[in-house]
Amino acid sequence: MSANRDRTGFATADLMANITNEIRDLSPRPVSFGGYSDIHTGVWHCPYGDMKVAIKVIRATLTASDTDELPGILRHEIRVWKKLLHRNIHVMCGYFEGYGSAPALVSPWYENGDINRYVRSRATAPDIDLQKLKLFADVTSGLKFLHEHYIVHGDLKGGNVLVSDDGVARLCDFGLSRLLLDHSQTITHTGVKGTLRWMAPELILEEGSQQTYASDMWACGCLFIEVWSAVRPYHTKTNDHQVIFALSRGELPARPTDMPDSVWTVVEACCILDVTCRPSPLDVVALISLHLTLQRLHSMITRGGPIDPAGSDLLKEIEASLRAANPRQISEFYLLLDTKLVGEVVRLFALWSLSITQRSSGTLFCVDVFIWCLVRFGPGRLMPSAGVEPPKRNDKLPYSPFFRSRPLTSHDKRIDPSKLRPFARLLAAGDPRSAKVAMLRFARASLRTSILLQNCRPQSVAWFPDGDRIALCLERQTVGILSTSSGALLRRVHFHRSYINQVAISPDGRLLASCSDDHAVRLWDAETGHAVGEFMLGYDSSIVCSVAFSPDSTHIASGSADRAIRIWSCETGACVVGPLNGHTRAVERVAFSPDGLRIVSGSFDQTIRVWDSRTGACILGPLSGHTDFITTVAFSPDGLRCVSSSNDGTVRIWDAFSGEPVGAPIEGHGSGVGCVAYSPDGTRIASSSSDSTIRMWDASTGALIHQHTLGLGHTGLVSSVAFSPDGRKLASASGDGAVRIWDATDEWTRWDI
């Protein structure tokens, strides 16, 4: 016995057709009536258990010559029908003898009844329109199967479409009306109840016409009217004579008022007078499947929220790729689970996009995205477009395993996260890991295009408290103030007589301090750009390397090439503490603790020291560990730790009270680290390097966050990084002449927001 099983769970193809002796508990009276049959129920004791079945008893008066012929023909047809195993074809269990002269047809009993009853019972369901479309796809899928097996249904209408217990539409009684018309005295074109309104014009108006695939498609369109709007085709006509008259005048079925354009378009295509222009079942099921697929994709992309322009653009591109595909490829998309559907759609979308990359309009994303999709999901069963070679996992090409692991080398190829996010949400519906990888690999961390400054190499970035403006050293003697939101250079001021090494903004935002190779520190009004007081001098021809404001904006600390640290009054410009001596080489950087009571310094002598800002006493250090000069030092926001960077390519974290190193040196840059900065919440450390990159580290573990490099846009050494006051942005300045503003949060990597 065959192990083939249909969707009802039992095998049918090789079982005996006559199952009379296996039926029991027959209903004494019909439980329902059809146009030419009475329906009884019974229980079939099949090899896989007991099953409730419907027993269709033919109600027809046979001609004398067909009294013996029809039963044999029916038995033969039942044997044929039993072998037609398809999701959308009603299962034929066999036949039962004992009711009348013709064998009765036995099939599974469905509590849902026919398609009209099923839809009526769910009329108030919020997704009823979606359910109807799925049923229509089932109907046309079943009709496609019949036509591919050279079978014309011949009587397609709501009563001949049953809905299984799991909500699947199944065609039944295909070919039966034609069989009875040929062998019955009482069955006529108008004798089968309601059939005429579903019949194609040629069957009624043309003498001797036969049912065809095309007439099935006309009936299919009429079925859609019947099911969608709960009205009969030609519902404006009160009787069949009016229908025939309307057909003779070439009048098509009227559009119900509640039928949307998407469904009416299908009906119009099916109910066209020219039989050669009617679509095939494949065309219709592909169109419905496309519509259902787009609805599902819309839900995946929006996650229940409103669709944004990027999501809308993505859907349009995907729709174009699906419409360009072979209908057979997408005809079953509506049946796929989300994971499988996403894989098929993404592969098809990627292949289509690669095939049109020569167009001037391009596509939504860079080619690398589509190649990555094909590598990630595999070519699957989709055929590539002409001229497109699908990637192989073992190729020594850009889409090889090497390609899958390496980051993009050009920041320009990265995509605005808001534009990539809808695509990532689509990927997440199939595999959340793929969505995360896509965001990390292809999303751009910068919040805006780079700010290019002509003929200068910006450095020493500092934020204003407003979180929009930044100050930075421009060319040799100039400080610039930029708007990070607009990219506009708001002010350019010549502050010094020589190269400016660092700028700092007072915590209250009123003052700007700068230090220079001209041996001076100077204060400026941050709003007007006017000098405040005189130069703070006291270095005897030594270069001033660093300046930092106290938390209360009343003092400035400076470090210089004379190996000393000094503390200045912002009000008087006088040196109030210092010089603080101890370092044996130039003091490259200084920073106040959050409480203003301590100062940390880093020097070319490769050591770090902590000082009492009130007395000038060295209270910690020298702290050794770096093997090259110190480039930057900073306190954590809670004041418990210090961080340092060095030209040795490492970042180190220190206990700010004991001086002990916290954890191992943080390594990862390919060259010297020029700057480090704590995020305002103390959870992250940003570092910049002469290797042209910026990296973000977990401040508690030292781990590289995301295992990906931030700041791929710079092409020269990155001299300075600084977090915005709210910690959401990071500014960087580079020798390539660009200032970039980065998303310092995880949001650029997230697809679920």
Q: For residue 502, which phi and psi values (nearest 5 degrees)?
A: -160, 150
Structure tokens at 699: 């401040």
pLDDT value at 406 more than 70: no
Q: Decide if domain 115-285 falls under CATH 1.10.730.10.
A: no
Position 117, amino acid: R
Residue 445's pLDDT band, with cuts at 50, 70 and 90, is confident
Query: For the segment 633-680, what is each residue's pLDDT rounded down to a tens digit?
Result: 999 999 999 999 999 999 999 999 999 999 999 998 889 999 999 999
Q: From the centroid of its chain, how far is CA 502?
A: 44
Residue 415 confidence class, pLDDT cut points 50, 70, 90? confident
3-state SS, residue 27: coil
- According to the model, what pLDDT value does residue 175 have? 60
Residues 563/581, Cβ–Cβ less than 8 Å: yes
Whole-number percent of the chain with pLDDT over 90: 52
- Is the pLDDT at 692 greater than 80? The verdict is yes
Please name the fold of domain 446-474+647-753: Methylamine Dehydrogenase; Chain H (2.130.10)
DSSP string, 213-280: HHHHHHHHHHHHHHHHHSS-TTTT-SSHHHHHHHHHTTPPPPPPTT--HHHHHHHHHHS-S-GGGSPP
Question: What tokens appear for 214 in the block?
Answer: 């095309």
Where in the chain are all domains bearing CATH 1.10.510.10?
A: 115-285
Q: β-pairing, 451-452 with 641-646? A: unpaired
Kind and range of the H or E run holding 47: none
Instruction: Give the right CATH number for 20-108 from 3.30.200.20, 3.40.630.30, 2.40.50.140, 3.40.710.10.
Output: 3.30.200.20
Higher-confidence residue of 333 and 494: namely 333
More confident residue, 227 or 10: 227
User: What are 165's two structure tokens?
Assistant: 């217990």
User: How far is CA 707 from each of CA 170, 373, 693, rounded to the nearest angstrom?
Assistant: 52, 21, 13
Which residue from 176, 201, 203, 174 is spatially nearest to 189, judged by alpha carbons? Answer: 203
pLDDT confidence tier of residue 451, bands split at 50, 70 and 90:
confident
Angle at 729 between CA 723 and CA 731, to 5 degrees: 60
Looking at residue 738, its pLDDT comes to 82
DSSP string over 350-391 = HHHHHHTTTSTT--SS-HHHHHHHHHHH--TTPPPPTT----
Looking only at the bridges linking them, the beta strands covering 511-516 and 500-505 are: antiparallel
Judge contact between 504 and 557, C-beta under 8 A: no
Q: Which two tokens stand for residue 161?
A: 């479409």
Among 383-392, 539-548, 603-612, the range scoring the smallest mean pLDDT is: 383-392
**Does 604 have pLDDT greater than 80?**
yes
Beta bridge partners of 650: 667
**Whole-number mean pLDDT of the chain?**
84
pLDDT 10s digits, 164-177: 999 999 998 876 55
Query: Quick one: how far is CA 586 from the chain centroid?
Result: 53
Structure tokens at 691: 């290797």
How many Å apart are CA 135 and CA 120, to the nearest integer? 13
With a CB cutoff of 8 Å and minimum separation 6, the contacts of 265 are none
70 or 715: whose pLDDT is higher? 715
Average pLDDT over residues 209-225: 94
* In the chain, ranges of CATH 2.130.10.10 domains: 446-474+647-753
pLDDT higher than threshold 90 for residue 322: yes
Give the pLDDT band of residue 403 (cuts 50, 70, 90). Answer: very low
Closest by CA to 519, choosing from 483, 544, 554, is 544
Least confident of 142-151, 405-414, 427-436: 405-414
Distance between CA atoms of 341 and 332, rounded to whole angstroms? 10
**Where does the chain hold its CATH 3.30.200.20 domain(s)?**
20-108
pLDDT tens, position by position, 121-130: 999 999 999 9
**Residue 253: is it exposed, middle or buried by C-beta count within 10 angstroms (0-12/13-18/19+)?**
buried
User: What pLDDT is recorded for position 399?
Assistant: 36
d(CA 505, CA 570): 12
Quote the CA–CA distance of 485 and 334 in Å, as a whole number: 45
